[in-house]
Amino acid sequence: MKGNDKLTAALCGSNGEHTTNRRSQVVVGSFLIVIFVLLLTACASRAQPAGTAWGVGAFDSNGERIYFTATSESGSPITYSGAPSSRGWMMMGGQLACVSCHGPSGKGGEHSMGMMQVMDAKDIRWSVLEGEFDAEKFRLAVVNGEDPDGTQLNSDMPRWNISDNDLTDLIIFLKTLP
Ligand code: HEC
């Protein structure tokens, strides 16, 4: 018995101080986690923009902001016509931006549209487009839905009312996508 007590004392600290310390560490630790979570929630709710899941304040450039939110630093509105008619799609948050279909990486991909329809949004990283597109062809595709090969892009790709300056900024951003 005595030997066991000694062993316990040696392992745990002779006067129980360790246990107390550890408990207060746990208390302080949980407290910090709670604060951290509260901060995260606060930031997340502040970053909610109208329409898309990305905020307008967090971007390195105007082009990046346009890509993620379809709003321009210049304040000129970026609107569109067309876009898929699927109800589920429209319900995904109202306003579309390039990211909604071409994805955060710009690589595009397939979206299930319900009723066994699939929308295939193309890869629009500039490294992929540049073989076929220049700034003017890009403008024609984005604004008029004209593909460089002379065909019309299908109506899943909205037609955008966007200024030339904003298009230039958008291209600058697409060039940064790896
Ligand atoms: C609602 C979905 C959707 C949104 C939002 C969208 N696109 Fe598209 N985009 C498409 C689809 C689908 C295609 C392919 C159309 C086709 O194959 O005919 C496409 C094609 C393109 C193409 C032609 C690519 C090629 O290789 O021919 C460009 C350029 C493009 N989109 C740019 C943009 C830009 C810039 C934005 C934002 C301003 C944007 N898109 C927003 C769905 C979308």
Would you call 143 exposed, middle or buried from its count of C-beta atoms within 10 A (0-12, 13-18, 19+)? middle
Indicate whether residue 142 lines ligand 1 (CB < 6 A).
Answer: yes
Indicate whether residue 78 lines ligand 1 (CB < 6 A).
Answer: no
Report pLDDT for 16.
46
125: helix, strand or coil: coil
Report pLDDT for 102.
96
* Cα–Cα distance measured from residue 100 to residue 69, given in angstroms and rounded to the nearest whole number: 9
Amino acid at site 168 = T
Report pLDDT for 90.
52
Return averaged pLDDT per consecutive 10 residues of the chain, 178 residues in all: 50 50 64 51 46 69 96 90 67 77 95 82 97 98 97 94 97 98
Indicate whether residue 96 lines ligand 1 (CB < 6 A).
Answer: yes
Indicate whether residue 167 lines ligand 1 (CB < 6 A).
Answer: no
Report pLDDT for 91.
46
Residue 94 sits at the vertex; the CA angle it makes with 88 and 95, to the nearest 5 degrees, is 125
Tokens describing residue 5: 């007590």
Report pLDDT for 88.
54
Q: What is the pTM of this model?
A: 0.73
Residue 84 CA: nearest ligand 1 atom is 1
Q: How far is the CA of 5 from the centre of ligand 1 (A)?
A: 74
